[in-house]
Amino acid sequence: MNQKQKILCVLYDDPVSGYPTQYARESIPELKQYPDGQSMPSPAKIDFNPGDLLGSISGGLGLKKFLEDQGHEFVVTSDKDVQNSVFDQEIVDADIVISQPFWPAYLTAERIAKAPNLKLAITAGIGSDHVDLQAAIEKNMTVCEVTYCNSISVAEHAVMQILALVRDYIPQYKWVIDGGWNIADSVSRSYDIEGMDVGVVAAGRIGLAVLKRMKPFDVNLHYTDRHRLSEDVEKDLNLTFHADVESLVKSCDVVSIHCPLHPETEHLFNENLISKMKKGSYIVNTARGKICERDAIVKALETGQLAGYAGDVWFPQPPPNDHSWRMMPNHAMTPHTSGTSLSAQARYAAGVREILECWFAEKPIRDEYLIVQGGGLAGTGAHSYSEGNTTGGSDEASKFKV
């Protein structure tokens, strides 16, 4: 593919203190392969230091030299949601769009329609629900993501939030910051997780990693998934399988959500499903915010049906400043950071470059990376997604103000 192309890349802003000139650690561990044996991203070359901040504007996913040396146009912006944003202006003649789940450029049907040259959408990370997959299918686009690049990163974050909720860590930390020593206040909602029933919704790469990491805490482990795990894995982890999510939530004290967002999972955790959970249970959601119905979560926390809710995914992203999840009681929310640790950034930046190298050379993109290709779901997309669109309402992101 010799013709020069325009690559539009949407990334989050640099730190308010400025792009780092030094880092807390000098290096990150070099991993040889993923836990299931899948090989790490394997571009011909990289032009960045693993462990650097690559996911923000100045980092540029380490792609600038690679693309511009070949004569391609590389446009990087964080301006994606407001009317007449840079993203909207630049997409009209873009050939490729790169975006991250953490600061998603919502590729709605309207935006796809006004971009006649657009053939490839890459998610720098995992989860391509910010793309209208139905519109991409109908336009015969290719949609791909860097499967597995940050799955363990997200699993670690989920375990951290499970413990933070059950032990009620956030208020205890706040007492220290505020100069107090209020032990009774600090422990009045704090419990041991030992002996509790902990379940995951979807036991793919992330969900299974959470189950493995929770086993040493001597909890009872549960899962539901449309693809049942092997008998050996179930036996090794002493798992209880549930045929549906309703059965799972009735049995668990803690539910951790790890399914992708598609029409079948949109607003899955609504008032009806939450009402069937044990009173005083916990939800951790590091999958996608729209899997949980916003008002139902708030109401359940206010009534005590839920003892706590944590996650780092919202809808839309960034959420409006008056988003009710910012103010609801007993939450332990973070911005969408679970999959964009500096360690994860090195992997998804390398994966994006690998995809681009294949695209420009007209070589096949790894099947694991494919979501949509050839007018239908493909690869990982065929395994994990359903056709349709979940970008509705994403325009609310324009209400976020720094």
Give the residue numbers marked as catalytic. 150, 288, 317, 336
Alpha helices in 70-132 (DSSP H): 86-90, 109-113
DSSP 28: -
DSSP 325: G
Q: What is the DSSP string of 182-221?
A: -HHHHHTT----TT-EEEEE--SHHHHHHHHHHGGG--EE
Measured in residues, the chain has a length of: 402
254-257/281-285 β-pairing:
parallel
- Decide if 162 contacts 219 (C-beta within 8 A): no
User: Where is 293: in which H helix or E strand?
Assistant: none
Residue 121 bridge partners (DSSP): 97, 143
31 phi and psi, to 5 degrees? -95, 140
347 CB-near residues (< 8 Å, 6+ apart) = 40, 41, 146, 149, 150
Angle at 43 between CA 34 and CA 47, to 5 degrees: 115
337: buried, middle or exposed (CB in 10 Å: 19+, 13-18, 0-12)? middle
Distance in angstroms (rounded) separating the CA atoms of residues 109 and 134:
8
Distance in angstroms (rounded) separating the CA atoms of residues 252 and 90:
47
Longest dimension (CA), the chain: 68
Omega of the bond leading into 318 within 30 degrees of 0 (cis): yes
Q: What residue type is assigned to position 89 of the chain?
A: Q
Q: What is the DSSP string of 175-186?
A: HHHTT---HHHH
